[in-house]
Amino acid sequence: MSKFLKGTAILLLAGFITRMLGFINRIAIARFIGEEGVGLYMMAYPTLVLVITITQFGLPVAISKNIAEAEARGEYGKIKKILVVSLATTLTLSAIFTPAMILFAPWLAETLFTDNRTYYPLIAIAPVVPIIAVSSVLRGYFQGRQTMKPSAYSQILEQTFRIALIAIMTKTFMPYGVEYAAAGAMLSAVIGELVSLIYLVTAFKLKKKFRLRTDFYKFVKTGKQPFKELMSVAVPTMGSRLIGSVSWFFEPIVVSFSLGMAGVATSLATKQYGALTGFAMPLLLLPSFITYSLATSLVPAISEANSKNDGKLIEHRLQQALRFSILTGGISVAVLYVLADPLMTLMYGSANGAVFIRLMAPFFLFYYYQGPLQAALQALNLARAAMINSLIGAVIKTAVIFLLASQPAFGINGVALGLMTGTVLVTLLHFATVLKRISFSFYIMDYLKIFLAIGVSGYTGYVIYTGLSLELSILYKVLISIICMGSIYSLLVLFLKLIRPEELRRIPFIGTFLSRLSPR
């Protein structure tokens, strides 16, 4: 079993658990602080992502890539230099940007977000910046060595503690106002990240083969070459993420102004944006834990193959990742499109946001492709091209949001269309860039089979859900429909040979299960 498959399987399992816990977390937030509170939470959150992106400086991906290459070449002494230089860089940046975030919070809340209540969530989340800065470096180190368990366990711990605290925090602060409750939700995230960091530090101390603090400053001073190598990947990677983060930072600002021009009141705009980004988007992003897991494992795996000039292995691993992404994303799109209203009602107690799911779900197949493609570009030293693609997509996305959302005929639906325009464009640009670098075979019949499986499963789910007795509760109707859709989809995938039995046997956990079932 390859490290790539084993690492991907570990991250997939952890990602699934984390995403389920994340849903519980979001449902709890929505139930405790309502649409308006979620809107305040989601307006402040992009600022945090922007600051973290700047602080990380694209180093996690660069660390993973460079450590994988160093191990492939047997340069073990270089690993400590990479880690020391990375920690020194992120700690310095976090010492600058954490106070800046606190200092500028009043101006951001009153001037840019046009809702001064966002001040409290902004202040509450600021302490998490240095915590995430250090933990991301440690995750990059483990991922570069293709040891995925510490990253996986830390994610689960973070979400578990966040959920354990979310009810306490929001209920404690809710009597003071919805803005304080949103700040309480942010504080629970800070504590969760702190627990995750403590675990990563402990795991590092147990598994490391060198003393990190020994001659720390000496390694910083003599780390010029590793620093240059890290920056060659980190700067364009940071550029791509910074573009996305800046775009996300300005998104609620553009949305507020655009909807204002369309005649939508500020409080209503906050609720609509909360329904889109806090209710609909988490459901649509559900399969992204799969693409994230694949992308995380893909960077060191392709970097290792690229250092050996093994073009066939690079294409093979990318084909594997893309096929798995669309297969898992396909059933998610079918389920969400057909069951949007009952799913929203079950999770949030309101069907608000279902219209966004039906509007955006078909386009999200492109999003599920984007992660592995970007990981391949970073591993192939094409991070700069990925950055340019992200810039083009962000500019177009923002322009479309402004043009459509400012029109009363579109309103908040214009925001959803703008988001999807940017996603589709960036994915297509990434694909075109990959094709310039490696040979890539297109299996058109396989894609037609996948779309057939999605369509048949979706129609089956619709017929079953509408045909079930009205006396059944929504929960049972949804569960029965999802089980039937999943079963039909799985059978079609196997019947159409989109996944072959020998491929299933190579997947960790599944292969072990099948081997126990087969006769000896």
How would you write 413-446 as a 3-class SS string? Answer: HHHHHHHHHHHHHHHHHHHHHHHHHCCCCCCHHH
Distance CA 464, CA 480 (A): 8
The pLDDT, as a whole number, for residue 426 is 93
Dihedral sign, CA of 17, 22, 25, 30? negative
**pLDDT tens, residue order, the chain (520 aa):** 456 666 667 777 777 787 777 767 777 777 778 777 877 777 777 777 777 777 777 777 788 888 887 777 777 777 878 888 888 888 888 888 888 888 888 887 877 766 788 888 888 888 888 898 888 888 888 888 778 788 888 888 988 888 888 878 888 888 888 888 888 888 888 898 899 999 998 988 887 665 665 655 565 666 677 777 777 777 777 777 777 767 777 787 888 888 888 887 767 777 787 788 777 887 888 777 777 777 877 877 888 788 778 888 888 888 888 888 888 889 999 999 999 999 888 877 777 788 899 999 999 889 988 888 988 888 888 888 888 998 899 899 999 999 998 888 888 889 899 999 999 999 999 999 998 888 888 888 988 999 999 999 999 999 999 988 777 888 899 999 999 999 999 999 989 888 766 555 555 444 444 455 454 4
User: In this structure, are residues 384 and 441 in contact, taking their beta carbons and an 8 Å threshold?
Assistant: no
**DSSP code of residue 410:** T
The pLDDT, as a whole number, for residue 514 is 41
Give the DSSP per-residue string, 167-224: HHHHHHHGGG-HHHHHHHHHHHHHHHHHHHHHHHHHHHHHH-SS-SSTTHHHHHHT-H
| Residue 91: closest CA among 44, 132, 63 | 132
Distance CA 440, CA 500 (A): 21
Neighbours of 393 (CB within 10 A): 25
The pLDDT, as a whole number, for residue 510 is 47
Distance CA 356, CA 230 (A): 40
Query: Which residue carries 């990059």 as its tokens?
Result: 140
Q: What is the pTM of this model?
A: 0.68
Q: Which amino acid is at 237?
A: T
Backbone dihedral region of 211: left (phi > 0), alpha (psi from -120 to 50 degrees) or beta?
A: beta
User: In this structure, are residues 378 and 371 in contact, taking their beta carbons and an 8 Å threshold?
Assistant: no
| Rounded-to-5 percentages of helix, strand, coil across the chain | 85, 0, 15
Rg (CA), the chain: 23
Q: Rounded to whole angstroms, what are the CA distances from 296 to 175, 312, 454?
A: 42, 20, 27
Question: Cβ neighbours of residue 427 under 8 Å, at least 6 residues apart?
Answer: 366, 367, 369, 370, 373
